[in-house]
Copies of this chain bind each other. A is one copy, B any other.
């Protein structure tokens, strides 16, 4: 079985946590990576089935949970409908959702640190994550 499809780092993470590197996992991670980051479970399933028609939806869900647990992907809830998953990209980034077409754009903005400081001091919280979400209309949908 080919293992080249799954990046070394992911492979290492799976391996070092005693998780087996299966065909299905390699494929799912590959699709998530290529998918631009914002796929829901069903979309991931559809795409994966084009390559592995026997793959089941439960496998998709089980592995998304595993990837989440291992920190390989992040889960977002932009709309009321579905969860979206994206491969983690290290740096803190935020999201911009177009209400017209549903497109999600990532952006970085150095707001985290100052905000962290202020809020942390104000509420006694230990802050572990910050995310800014904005919604609006993209240039195309404004027409």
User: Measuring CB to CB, which residues of chain A are less than 8 angstroms from any residue of chain B?
Assistant: 75, 77, 80, 83, 96, 98-99, 105, 107, 109, 111, 115-116, 118-120, 122-139, 142
How many copies of this chain sit in the oligomeric assembly? Answer: 2
Docked Cα-Cα span, A139 to B138, in Å, equals 40
Q: With A132-B131, A133-B131 in contact, do A123 and B111 touch (Cβ < 8 Å)?
A: no
Chain B residues closer than 8 Å to A120, beta-carbon distance: 136
Asked if B138 and A115 make an inter-chain contact with CB atoms under 8 angstroms apart, the answer reads no
Asked if B131 and A119 make an inter-chain contact with CB atoms under 8 angstroms apart, the answer reads no
Asked if B115 and A132 make an inter-chain contact with CB atoms under 8 angstroms apart, the answer reads yes
Q: With A77-B77, A129-B136, A130-B134 in contact, do A111 and B107 touch (Cβ < 8 Å)?
A: no
Q: Which 10 A-B pairs have the closest CB atoms?
A: A124-B139, A77-B77, A127-B136, A129-B135, A125-B136, A126-B137, A128-B136, A131-B133, A130-B134, A126-B136
